[in-house]
Structure 1
């Protein structure tokens, strides 16, 4: 269910956030135009898979390839299709504070329940702290730090993250800087209960993230029902079951999360599963070739799944 309640503070909302938030791709038609119909089928699929929430316009969502008008259309469509059944969180990335605040306020006005914000480029810790603090003060919904230095080129120290939790009004991070286990532990130790961590990185380290204290994951793995099952087993105290599920599907998780072509692999998977109509990605972006598609399909089959199957798999 949608967790927004009149009078509920942003810290209360973050305190309830856990599980699997799928980083959704932005569907395009074969001609590169927005495919709003596929947003509807993508949302329906994610909810059927049991995800806790949807995260849109992140790096996987090709936000940097959209016009402002398209960005508004995408947020509106996802929020409408979610219909309050699950929260929608929106990515924010801008060159400065004013642009980030503008994006965050638009997301809030359109019904988003949180924003996850990339850091500013080439900024000091003091500047980053000011940036995130001002962003948090500018909106009523929670602000989540998006820590992904491999894509953003900016590292956010554990000390800065912890200070933002204690003093900056920012209580959650989507943490994607290896070695993930060590950084999660350091953040949680320094933050003294003021910061909650979501993992990412395709789910490659999901089990270890949970064991280190992460409350869930925000990633775009195109078999979200697998991640949902791992989290459910772990949350129920079935550590051996969670590990067995993770180990069984790790070859697929690893293969899909390949640098440069991960987005193309995910869109291909969603198209083959009947979730979106086209695997189109906008330039710049690397496509997969026929041999790579066969490799992906072979990996899917090796873990006991099929891209011909429609609907959600029952993961046991």
Structure 2
């Protein structure tokens, strides 16, 4: 039996977390029930694609459409299928501290390596700081700030983020507030090494995020091996190669990250690639029409990819 304590494991996760953490969709059958078989195939695909970790039950994981019992099943299934090969980070969103702690502790008990938590709605800077600090104090796994004002309607100021890194026991952020470059630089100036920054926003600004000092990205994209290749080249010091890969596939990255239909596009591609069995989305959620399907496939072909290929691709 390992002698590693939860606290030591959390610190190890803190020190090593970097790269591409894929925001995974939650697969459903046509009747809207959970598709646990597709969770297994999705996990195997992501690991084959070379991702550093899995992030589940985020905004595009349709967590807000699941029951509490379904949340537990989804977390347990992802953790079981990953089998310790990559860490699983779990999204948390609640109206108050008690609900957030409950969700986070359930995730930790199921084997999650970290949780990423949305801010409280319409809370002051002082309340946000106390919320995240208290959440971190209640857990033995790391807490990641999920900073996404366009979806949550709440801005978390760089000064609050830096204070959380230095005083609050919270040392990760998934930062998705444009203009991303300026905010990343501001956080780094204020927080120094106490805050590790992941980007997001579909990978649209991934190259710039890395150049500003982000350690990776937490985002959904149905060709995660492309993001992995960009990161690997950048991490190896090949900035020109990273930029060339980013530029080649940017039209697809941009197209998939469309507001309102991005999840439908992503599930469509995963289904066509044989990764999940069905592209079903629970209501409310926008579906795509046949013309949009043709448009998406044209963009995929334009960047030199095909939906007929199965398994993770080798990206140059």
Q: Same fold (TM over 0.5)?
A: yes
C-alpha displacement of 1:193: 1.5
Point out 4+ residue stretches in structure 1 off by more than 6 angstroms: none
Partner of 1:165: 165
Q: Does 1:181 align with 2:181?
A: yes
Partner of 1:88: 88
Partner of 1:197: 197
C-alpha displacement of 1:192: 2.2
Structure 2: distance between partners of 1:219 and 1:9: 24
Residue-by-residue CA offset, 1:87-142 (whole Å, 9 max, x unaligned): 00000000000000000000000000000000000000000000000000001000
C-alpha displacement of 1:13: 1.7
CA pair 33-9 structure 1, distance change in 2 beyond 3 A:
closer
Partner of 1:27: 27
Partner of 2:305: 305
Partner of 2:133: 133
Partner of 2:249: 249
Q: Secondary structure at the match of 1:54?
A: strand
Partner of 2:112: 112
C-alpha displacement of 1:9: 5.3
Point out where structure 1 has 5 or more consecutive residues left out of the alignment.
none
Structure 2: distance between partners of 1:5 and 1:309: 41
Q: Is the 8 A contact 1:11 1:171 kept in 2?
A: no
Structure 1: distance between partners of 2:121 and 2:93: 10
C-alpha displacement of 1:308: 1.2
Q: Does 1:265 align with 2:276?
A: no
Give the number of aligned pairs.
313
Structure 1: distance between partners of 2:236 and 2:22: 21
Q: Is the 8 A contact 1:20 1:216 kept in 2?
A: yes
Residue-by-residue CA offset, 1:59-100 (whole Å, 9 max, x unaligned): 010000000010000000000000000000000000000000
Partner of 2:231: 231
C-alpha displacement of 1:12: 3.4
Structure 1: distance between partners of 2:133 and 2:143: 9
Structure 2: distance between partners of 1:175 and 1:314: 28
Please report the TM-score for the alignment, with normalisation by the length of structure 1.
Answer: 0.98
Describe how 1:146-165 pairs up with structure 2 within 5 A: 146-165=146-165
Q: Is the 8 A contact 1:229 1:242 kept in 2?
A: yes
**C-alpha RMSD over aligned residues:** 1.0
Q: Secondary structure at the match of 1:192?
A: helix
Structure 1: distance between partners of 2:212 and 2:116: 21
Point out where structure 2 has 5 or more consecutive residues left out of the alignment.
none
Q: Does 1:103 align with 2:129?
A: no
Q: Secondary structure at the match of 2:187?
A: helix
Structure 2: distance between partners of 1:162 and 1:11: 19
Residue-by-residue CA offset, 1:236-262 (whole Å, 9 max, x unaligned): 000000000000000000000000000
Q: Secondary structure at the match of 2:190?
A: helix
